Amino acid sequence: MEKHYRTCHLCEAMCGLEITTNQGLIENIKGDKNDVHSKGYLCPKAVALQDIHEDPNRLKYPVKRTEEGWQQISWEEAFDLVEENIKRIRKNHGGDAVGVYTGNPTTHNTGTILYLYDFINSIGTKNSYASHSLDQLPQMFVAGEMFGHQAMFPVPDIENTDFFLVLGANPLVSNGSIMSTPNIGAKFKALQQRGTKIVVIDPRRTRTAQAADIHHFIKPGTDVFLLLAFVHELLMHNWVKDSHVLEISDNIVGLKELVQGFTPEEVSQIVGITAEEIKALIQDFVKAPKAIIYGRMGVSTVKFGGVCHWLINTINILTGNMDVPGGVMFTLPAIDLLKALKKEAKQLRWRSRVKQLPETGGALPTVTMADEMLTPGDDQIKAMITVAGNPLLSAPNSNELKKGFEQLDFYVAIDIYINETTRHANVILPPAAALEVIHYDFALSIVSPRNIANFSPAVFPIAKDRKYDWEILIELQKRIEQGNILSLKLKHALLGWLTAERRIDLGLKIGPYGIWGGRLFKGGGISLKRLKKQVHGIDFGAMQSCLPKRLFTKNKRINLIPLEIIKELPKVLQALEEKRNDQEELLLIGRRHLRSNNSWMHNYPRLMKDGDKRCTAMLHSEEAQKRGIANGDWMEVSTNVGQIKIKAEITDEVMPGVLCIPHGWGHHDKHVHLDVASKHAGVNVNELIDHSIYEEMSGNAVFSGIPVKVKVFAETAS
Ligand SMILES: Nc1nc2c(c(=O)[nH]1)N[C@H]1C(S)=C(S)[C@@H](COP(=O)(O)OP(=O)(O)OC[C@H]3O[C@@H](n4cnc5c(=O)[nH]c(N)nc54)[C@H](O)[C@@H]3O)O[C@H]1N2
Ligand SMILES: Nc1nc2c(c(=O)[nH]1)N[C@H]1C(S)=C(S)[C@@H](COP(=O)(O)OP(=O)(O)OC[C@H]3O[C@@H](n4cnc5c(=O)[nH]c(N)nc54)[C@H](O)[C@@H]3O)O[C@H]1N2
Ligand code: SF4
Ligand SMILES: [Mo]
């Protein structure tokens, strides 16, 4: 029997696990009680790591799609096929004809974090897309405008706060996003015991809302008005607090004019919260010695997600709650990815061809990927490379995007499954995954409320003829990168020499706690060798005040009114007017489940025991009654772009006027090889979502607040 200590890579919480194996088989997976970060906590998904490891559907060798079905081929043949086709398409149509889409797991995988950016650069395309434009792009865009770096995320110092205001996040289920916080339920209880007040604003009474002291329903997509009223109140009552961050913030004078007219009384009816409640909320927030306003998906994937996140940052600054304990702070991770990505963290350098949507950090918004595939002309996408992504389930307007994938000249996927997207590929290159790979969390260490580091060796070795993701990416880069032959030879030799472990070691050594760097860590600093000895991880302590030094803006100051915001505000005003004459359609919102993870974890028996009950459309009893819908009825839900058939779940957990459907389902395509998921197919909510509606500042997808028509389905479906 052997015990392995390992960080779970499945979500942002970074829980430490204790995995017991016996003769190459997993005996059990438990929370590691001694892990410096999670202290024994784990969620049900961690146990399914065993299912991922043992899943017979998981690909281990390259496959090629043929008339007769999928055929296993050698790595050499697979790489040859990719090289030949990418080079051909690039030669005939130019670099932009090759599109790339990188999905959510790339942020959680050491190999892809380390080698993917170089690989994408080697393709020489502007058509690069990523799942973060279905998610936190507005937050990144605003961080870029205000702090000079898209990854400079303000992270709640949750354990030390007196007031925690949560908008559009459900950390008790998501386990914290842009706030890596395992066991947040227990943290909430501890906070409440010491008198901290927790308020949740969400159109659904989620688990997080239930655990809070106060929950307010809010009409989907209207937080921007509530937040403007918040700033209005702060300025009108002179509740702005002096702080070192306020001192380095410019243009505060202009704010007053921007929020003029957005009084609690004005916005109350539109947001669905009384003016008295809004005022009380703001007063309580201001009175608290330390307070945090925190928002995630529900205020990001909305029409004015960027403005919402600008307002959230602004409120934290104006109330003296930025860069101080108990407020929002910035991490200083052991490997400083922010410094490493300084050059890449630019925005607005180019725009997409068809809709002129902006570039951020080298990528274009995923909502326009279908346009770029389907609109003829120079630079139209003819070939695709996807890495750990399933955009046909996760991006808006799946039917349109599917047309795009169907007409590609060539498509290669680096993925471990034949799923709804990769089934369109010509070739799939599957890397070693989950327990077969080393793990160091570069990205999520940036958003952890404490500065921590943990290195996990692989639990299982892989067969000699299999490959790690970095080996696949390096090989492809070597074959398709263009440039001076000599310098490429040198570069590629270096790529091979700088193995993942060497890169981690170097990053740690030159980092702030490293033996060559800041040595902020006792005993002369860390290296990979030293980190490896600490199998439960190292905690370098709480976040520390770091402004203005940590800012990436040229003048080391924060612009409180970025130009892009000024351009956006007239649209907010216009929307306010439109909302006054809102028609009575239901507004769509999403829902995450503790045992789902976006689209890709429905193939694991341990997580799917209640799989058939999860993909339902929740609506309030008043709305059901109006439409003659009974619990469990099949309903037809439609928009201008699609229509789905889904079971009604009548619950007063959601506010009237709302329809709540989870994403990541719809595994009924007979071409997918997902034996368990196919049995609990569910439906794909993204068939309903129009890709021509987007967050206009950054081009992020809009999943919340989309009007939908609902009626009972005539005959009972099977
Ligand atoms: N309607 C609606 N849509 C949404 C959302 C929503 O709330 N509502 N949420 C959005 C959000 S926040 C996100 S992040 C996106 C996610 O969007 P995507 O990233 O496109 O989708 P995932 O479901 O995460 O797909 C992950 C893919 O990675 C593969 N994979 C898993 N592990 C590995 C690995 O180790 N290596 C490789 N190479 N591949 C691997 C899986 O097989 C799968 O194909 O979805 C978005 N879509
Ligand atoms: N179990 C599980 N954990 C996950 C994931 C998963 O799929 N399953 N996915 C991971 C990923 S990729 C991400 S990005 C994170 C997301 O992490 P979170 O953002 O914490 O999770 P969500 O469940 O998307 O929470 C969004 C909340 O916003 C609410 N909401 C919707 N519209 C509005 C609105 O207009 N205003 C307000 N105020 N609220 C609104 C929704 O009801 C929902 O409760 O979770 C991660 N963790
Ligand atoms: S909360 Fe996230 S990191 Fe922790 S065990 Fe669950 S999936 Fe893994
Ligand atoms: Mo996400």
The number of residues making up the chain comes to: 718
Distance 440 CA to ligand 1 centre (A): 20
CATH 3.60.20.10 fits 157-330+551-561, yes or no: no
CB of 286 shorter than 6 A to ligand 3: no
CB of 437 shorter than 6 A to ligand 1: no
| Residue 63 reports pLDDT greater than 60 | yes
- pLDDT confidence tier of residue 715, bands split at 50, 70 and 90: low
Tens digits of per-residue pLDDT, 90-140?
Answer: 999 999 999 999 999 999 999 999 999 999 999 999 999 999 999 999 999
Q: Which residue has the tokens 């539109």?
A: 270
Tens digits of per-residue pLDDT, 696-709?
Answer: 899 999 999 999 99
Cβ count within 10 A of residue 193:
8
How much is the pTM?
A: 0.97
Tens digits of per-residue pLDDT, 556-571?
Answer: 999 999 999 999 999 9
| Residue 1 reports pLDDT greater than 70 | yes
> Closest ligand 1 atom to the C-alpha of 437?
35
Paired with 617 in beta bridges are: 648
- pLDDT confidence tier of residue 612, bands split at 50, 70 and 90: confident
User: Would you tell me which CATH number, out of the four given (3.40.50.300, 2.40.40.20, 2.70.98.40, 3.40.50.720), belongs to the domain 582-717?
Assistant: 2.40.40.20
> For every residue of 635-667, which 3-state class applies, written as one string?
EEEECCCCEEEEEEEECCCECCCEEECCCCCCC
The ligand with the least distance to the CA atom of 691 is: 1
Tens digits of per-residue pLDDT, 368-391?
Answer: 999 999 999 999 999 999 999 999
Q: Which residues surround ligand 4, an ion (CB under 5 A)?
A: 135
**Token couple for 250:** 């410019």
Paired with 706 in beta bridges are: 588
How many percent of the chain have pLDDT more than 70? 98
In this prediction, residue 583 carries a pLDDT of: 63
Number of H helices, E strands in the chain: 27, 30
The residue whose CA has the least distance to atom 18 of ligand 2 is 169
| Residue 579 reports pLDDT greater than 90 | no
CB of 116 shorter than 6 A to ligand 3: no
| Residue 520 reports pLDDT greater than 80 | no
CB of 470 shorter than 6 A to ligand 1: no
Distance 186 CA to ligand 3 centre (A): 15
Q: Which whole number is the average pLDDT over 535-548? A: 96
> Closest ligand 1 atom to the C-alpha of 598?
23
- pLDDT confidence tier of residue 180, bands split at 50, 70 and 90: very high
CB of 298 shorter than 6 A to ligand 1: no
CB of 37 shorter than 6 A to ligand 3: no
DSSP per-residue letters across 331-373:
---SS-HHHHTTTT--EEEEE-TTT-PEEETTBB-GGGHHHHH
CB of 173 shorter than 6 A to ligand 3: no
How far apart (Å, rounded) are the C-alpha atoms in residues 450 and 439? Answer: 19
Domain parsing of the chain, residue ranges: 2-54, 63-133+345-438, 157-330+551-561, 582-717
How far apart (Å, rounded) are the C-alpha atoms in residues 397 and 136? Answer: 19
In this prediction, residue 185 carries a pLDDT of: 97
- pLDDT confidence tier of residue 714, bands split at 50, 70 and 90: confident
Distance 600 CA to ligand 1 centre (A): 6
- pLDDT confidence tier of residue 718, bands split at 50, 70 and 90: very low
Distance 102 CA to ligand 1 centre (A): 9
Distance of CA 557 to the CA centre of its chain: 28
- Dmax over CA atoms of the chain, in Å, equals 73
CB of 46 shorter than 6 A to ligand 3: yes
In this prediction, residue 517 carries a pLDDT of: 79
Question: Can you list the alpha helix ranges (DSSP code H) found in 124-175?
Answer: 137-147, 171-174
The residue whose CA has the least distance to atom 47 of ligand 2 is 174
| Residue 30 reports pLDDT greater than 50 | yes
**Equal fold, 2-54 vs 157-330+551-561:** no
Q: List the beta strands (DSSP E) in 433-581.
A: 439-440, 450-453, 455-456, 538-542, 558-559
Binding-site residues, ligand 2, Cβ < 6 A: 11, 104, 135, 167-171, 173-175, 177, 201-204, 206, 218, 220-221, 223, 296-299, 302, 589-590, 592-594, 596-598, 704-705
Could you tell me which residues come within 8 angstroms of residue 307 by beta carbon, excluding any fewer than 6 positions away?
Answer: 224, 227, 565, 568, 569, 572, 697
Q: For residue 339, which of 518, 488, 541 has the smallest C-alpha distance? A: 518
Q: Are strands 16-22 and 25-31 parallel, antiparallel or unpaired?
A: antiparallel
Q: What is the chain's mean pLDDT, rounded?
A: 96
Structural fold of domain 2-54: Phosphorylase Kinase; domain 1 (3.30.200)
- Of the two residues 713 and 217, the one the predictor is more confident about is 217
Distance 177 CA to ligand 4 centre (A): 8
Paired with 129 in beta bridges are: 101, 364
In the DSSP assignment, the letter for residue 229 is H
Distance 32 CA to ligand 3 centre (A): 12
Q: Which whole number is the average pLDDT over 542-557? A: 97
In this prediction, residue 611 carries a pLDDT of: 87
Distance of CA 74 to the CA centre of its chain: 34
In the DSSP assignment, the letter for residue 555 is T
Distance 448 CA to ligand 1 centre (A): 21
What does each C-alpha distance from 208 to 269, 404, 497, 711 come to in angstroms? 24, 38, 47, 30
Return phi, psi of residue 97, to 5°.
-75, -10
How many percent of the chain have pLDDT more than 90? 94
How far apart (Å, rounded) are the C-alpha atoms in residues 448 and 424? Answer: 37
DSSP per-residue letters across 187-225:
HHHHHHHTT-EEEEE-SB--HHHHHSSEEE---TT-HHH
How far apart (Å, rounded) are the C-alpha atoms in residues 649 and 631? Answer: 5
- pLDDT confidence tier of residue 581, bands split at 50, 70 and 90: low
The residue whose CA has the least distance to atom 3 of ligand 1 is 394
The residue whose CA has the least distance to atom 7 of ligand 2 is 597
> Closest ligand 3 atom to the C-alpha of 597?
7
Distance 104 CA to ligand 4 centre (A): 6
CATH 3.40.50.1820 fits 63-133+345-438, yes or no: no
| Residue 582 reports pLDDT greater than 70 | no
The residue whose CA has the least distance to atom 28 of ligand 1 is 388
How far apart (Å, rounded) are the C-alpha atoms in residues 379 and 364? Answer: 14
- pLDDT confidence tier of residue 328, bands split at 50, 70 and 90: very high
| Residue 717 reports pLDDT greater than 50 | no
How far apart (Å, rounded) are the C-alpha atoms in residues 310 and 139? Answer: 8
CB of 182 shorter than 6 A to ligand 3: yes
Residue 289, class by beta-carbon neighbours within 10 Å (0-12 exposed, 13-18 middle, 19+ buried)?
exposed
CB of 599 shorter than 6 A to ligand 1: yes
- Of the two residues 190 and 518, the one the predictor is more confident about is 190
Helix (H, G, I), strand (E, B) or coil at 560: coil
Tens digits of per-residue pLDDT, 346-374?
Answer: 999 999 999 999 999 999 999 999 999 99
Tens digits of per-residue pLDDT, 394-416?
Answer: 999 999 999 999 999 999 999 99
Q: Are strands 69-72 and 63-66 parallel, antiparallel or unpaired?
A: antiparallel
